[in-house]
Copies of this chain bind each other. A is one copy, B any other.
C-alpha cells in the first residue's frame, strides 16, 4: 500500500468492528493517521474510513478483513490514481470555469477528460484550458437520441464520474442507471425547496430571504438524489429572479467544488437516500 491510502468499509454493525479493523492494520505495521466511523442506528449499518501510512499488501489486508467482518461487508482501498471525470454543461460558465481553474492548478484531485455541452457557447472556455469540448446539440432530437449521442462521445473516455456543472437538461433513468452514484449535479436551490428548472423564479415569487445551492448524486427522480453539500446566502425583496440567479452563482460553484472534493477524497458513503460523510 502506498503512503496515504484510504480504507473504506461498510457493513452491518456489531460489537468489536473497530477493534478488529485496527488489529489487522496494526499487524501489517500501518499507522492510522485519521479515522472516522459512523453507525446509522436506523439501518444498523456501520461505516468506517481510515487513512493509514506505511507500505503493505492491500490485497492481503482486504482478505483478512473480509474474514473478520460480517458477511456482505463492502470494503476497498481508494484508488491510487486520480479519478477520471467528464463535465456536462449548457450555457453558464461559472461552475465549469471554476473546475477548469482548479484542475489546471492541481486542486481538483481528479482528471477532467473532456467537456460535453448541449450548447456550443462554452467551447472557448474549455479551449483556454486545453480540454476537449464536444458539442452535442439537443435540438430536433428525442431525449433518447440525444443521450445516445452523449454516450457515444463518453465511451472512449470511460469516465468514472460525470459532473453536471449547470447542465440544464433532465437525464433519463436509463442514462443515470449507467452511472450509479457516479453523477454529481449542482442544483441551484436549497433542496428540497424549488425542485425543477426555474428555482430562482420560484424563489423570487415566494419571497424567500435566503437562497442556496445543493450538490447531490443523480438518481432517476428529479432533484431527489442523496445530498452531498449545501450552502446558502441571504437575499431580500430587492432581488428579482435575475438578481437571485446572479447572486446564486458564487454559492453554486463553491458548493459543487466542496462536494467534488468530498467525493474525490472518498469521504462520501451512501446510506439509503442520505449520504454519510466521514472526515
Chain A contacts to B: CB under 8 angstroms: 15-16, 18-19, 22-23, 25-26, 29, 31-33, 35-42, 93-94, 97-98, 101, 104-105, 125, 128-129, 190-194, 205-210, 212, 226-232, 234, 236-238, 240, 250, 254, 257, 271, 273-277, 279
Assess whether A231 is in contact with B210, with CB atoms less than 8 Å apart.
yes
* A59 to B233 CA separation, bound complex (whole angstroms): 40
Least CB distance, A276 to chain B, in whole angstroms:
4
In the complex, 6 of the A-B residue pairs with CB atoms within 8 angstroms, ordered by the A residue number, are A18-B18, A40-B237, A207-B271, A212-B232, A234-B234, A254-B254
Assess whether A274 is in contact with B207, with CB atoms less than 8 Å apart.
yes
Assess whether A273 is in contact with B16, with CB atoms less than 8 Å apart.
no
Partner of A210 from the list B36, B42, B230, B271 (CB cut-off 8 Å) is B230
Chain B residue nearest to A21 in the complex (CB): B19
Assess whether A26 is in contact with B31, with CB atoms less than 8 Å apart.
no
Task: Determine the chain B residues whose CB is within 8 A of the CB of A36 once the complex forms.
Answer: 36
Assess whether B207 is in contact with A191, with CB atoms less than 8 Å apart.
no
Task: Determine the chain B residues whose CB is within 8 A of the CB of A193 once the complex forms.
Answer: 190-193
Least CB distance, A35 to chain B, in whole angstroms:
6
**Secondary structure of the A contact surface, majority rule:** mixed
Task: Determine the chain B residues whose CB is within 8 A of the CB of A232 once the complex forms.
Answer: 210, 212, 232
Known: A19-B25, A208-B227, A210-B212. 16 other contacts (CB 8 A): A15-B26, A19-B22, A19-B23, A33-B39, A35-B37, A93-B101, A93-B105, A101-B101, A104-B125, A128-B128, A191-B208, A205-B273, A209-B229, A210-B231, A210-B232, A232-B232
Task: Determine the chain B residues whose CB is within 8 A of the CB of A41 once the complex forms.
Answer: 240
Partner of A97 from the list B29, B33, B101, B207 (CB cut-off 8 Å) is B101
Chain B residue nearest to A205 in the complex (CB): B273
Assess whether A207 is in contact with B236, with CB atoms less than 8 Å apart.
no
Task: Determine the chain B residues whose CB is within 8 A of the CB of A93 once the complex forms.
Answer: 101, 104-105
Task: Determine the chain B residues whose CB is within 8 A of the CB of A206 once the complex forms.
Answer: 191-192, 227, 273-274
* A29 to B32 CA separation, bound complex (whole angstroms): 24
Partner of A209 from the list B23, B26, B101, B230 (CB cut-off 8 Å) is B230
Partner of A277 from the list B18, B236, B240, B254 (CB cut-off 8 Å) is B236
Assess whether B230 is in contact with A208, with CB atoms less than 8 Å apart.
yes
* A94 to B276 CA separation, bound complex (whole angstroms): 29
With A192-B206, A210-B230, A231-B210 as contacts: A18 and B32 at CB distance below 8 Å: yes
* A172 to B89 CA separation, bound complex (whole angstroms): 45
Task: Determine the chain B residues whose CB is within 8 A of the CB of A276 once the complex forms.
Answer: 237
